[in-house]
Amino acid sequence: MSHIDQPHTHSRPLPPYRGILAVDAKDFTGYPAVQHGPISRAVPQLLETSFERAGLAEVWRDRRFPDSTGDGYVFGFEPAVMPFVVHPWLAVLQDVLTEFNLHSAGVVRIRLRASLNIGPLPDTGDEFDGNGTPRNDTHRLLDSRPVKAVLAASSANVTQVAAILSDRCYQDVVASGYTGRHPDHFIEVPATVEGKAFAQRAWLYVPMPSGSLYDRRVLGDQVIDDQEKRRPDGDPRQQAAGRETTAASRSVIRADRGIVNSGTVYGGQSVSNLDVGRDHIGGDYVRGNKAGTVHGNQGDTVHGDKHEGDR
């Protein structure tokens, strides 16, 4: 019987730091059981193809403690290449999945959530390598509400990948300037998992946003409030008005079921009177403080996955 070390009893070396990637296929359990095997085999094949196309074949070839999760895949890699995994690999994965889904003619559509993290994990070649808090957190992030919500609310014809980065990954790779994506491509979210004692700061990145991802209300009031506070031109009165608009629309906004209103109005302002900027996940948002008439169709809805909890 193997010995289990007790924590906090003596000092010992940290395990090597590893980058960790985990992916899950959306709606896996919604497919007939006869298709589960082919989908499980297709996911690592698509990952391998995307790493090759991104010029990162060695990341796949040298992967550590790889494991299929049935509806997904997880493995570790050298953290030095994490900037290249964030970009261009996630964008290339989007392209590879788009091609796959186009040629599958709707029989099977594979859309992936991806989670990226960095941390110390045992990696000695043992069959139980890769187990530890960073890996646990990677899977929790993958199952968290924000990344499920954005993929569910996006167009299945356009958006094939939604990624979530741990705060450590974001700070080390994105905020520090090592990856080829600007911080404005990411949006900070509170990552929580229903029924789990898990809550962490994390960052969403959608390589190809679509549909209601142009409406930040899909992420909920708290995320919008937090983002507004960070804006240099943020006006508390405007923020309050924006919350009222969101509250009044809750009957049609069901982010957890992939149904949200488009034609977002922040603070009841007229789109025609205001400047339009870029949202952190690629969408449009309205800036300014002029009141006016609302223009645009607020009745349009985007219907995504109604089974957000399915992996």
pLDDT of residue 79: 98
**Is the Cα torsion angle 300, 303, 306, 310 positive or negative in sign?**
negative
Residue 9 inside a domain? The answer is no
Q: How many Å apart are CA 144 and CA 200, to the nearest integer?
A: 10
pTM value is: 0.71
Between the alpha carbon of residue 298 and those of residues 3, 202, 262, the distances in Å are: 62, 30, 6
Instruction: Determine, yes or no, domain membership for 178.
Output: yes
What mean pLDDT value characterizes the chain? 77
Total count of domains within the chain: 2
Domain boundary residue, one of 211, 229, 261: 211
User: Are 41 and 177 in a shared domain?
Assistant: yes
Same domain, 151 and 279: no
Residue 8's CB: how many other CB atoms inside 10 A?
5
Verify that 157 and 296 share a domain, yes or no: no
Q: Which residues sit opposite 22 in a β-bridge?
A: 74, 115
- Judge whether 101 lies within some domain: yes
Region at 53 (left for phi over 0; alpha for psi -120 to 50; beta for the rest): alpha
58 and 157: one domain? yes
Indicate whether 310 belongs to any domain.
no
Nearest to 296 by CA among 269, 259, 275: 269
At 5 the three-state DSSP class reads: coil
State the CATH number of the domain containing residue 178. 3.30.70.1230
Q: List the one residue out of 260, 275, 264, 272 whose CA is nearest residue 242.
A: 264
> 183 and 252 share a domain?
no
Q: Are residues 72 and 167 in the same domain?
A: yes
pLDDT at 215: 65
Q: What is the pLDDT of residues 259-284, one digit of tens each?
A: 233 333 223 333 232 232 333 333 33
Q: What is the pLDDT of residue 160?
A: 98
Structural domain contains residue 139 = yes
In a domain, 308, yes or no: no
Rounded Cα gap, residues 292 and 274, in angstroms: 10
Q: Where is the domain boundary, 177, 211, 245? A: 211
- Residue 211: the pLDDT is 78
Residue 260 lies in a domain: yes
Whether residue 109 is found in the same domain as residue 171: yes
Cα–Cα distances (Å) from 144 to 77, 129, 147, 152, 235, in that order, read 23, 24, 6, 13, 30
Q: Is residue 311 part of a domain?
A: no
Same domain, 170 and 41: yes
- Taking the C-alpha atoms of residue 82 and residue 77, their distance in angstroms, rounded to an integer, is 8
Question: Residue 76, SS3?
Answer: strand
Q: Are residues 281 and 253 in the same domain?
A: yes
Q: Are residues 244 and 194 in the same domain?
A: no
84: left (phi over 0), alpha (psi -120 to 50) or beta: alpha
Q: What is the DSSP letter of 136?
A: H
pLDDT in tens, 168-198: 999 999 999 999 999 999 999 999 999 999 9
Distance CA 143, CA 23 (A): 10
Residue 108 is part of which domain span? Answer: 17-211
The half-sphere exposure of 42 on its side-chain side, counting CA atoms within 13 A, is 19
Are 185 and 281 in contact by the 8 Å Cβ rule? The answer is: yes
Considering the domain architecture, whether residues 232 and 256 belong to the same structural domain is answered as yes
The verdict on whether omega for the bond into residue 66 sits within 30 degrees of 0, i.e. cis, is: no
Structural element, H or E, at residue 245: helix 236-248
Which of 211, 236, 268 represents a domain boundary (last residue)? Answer: 211
| Regions of the chain where pLDDT drops below 50 | 234-311
Question: Based on the domain organization, do 173 and 207 belong to the same domain?
Answer: yes
Phi, psi for residue 266 in degrees, rounded to 5: -100, 115
Quick one: how far is CA 236 from the chain centroid? 29
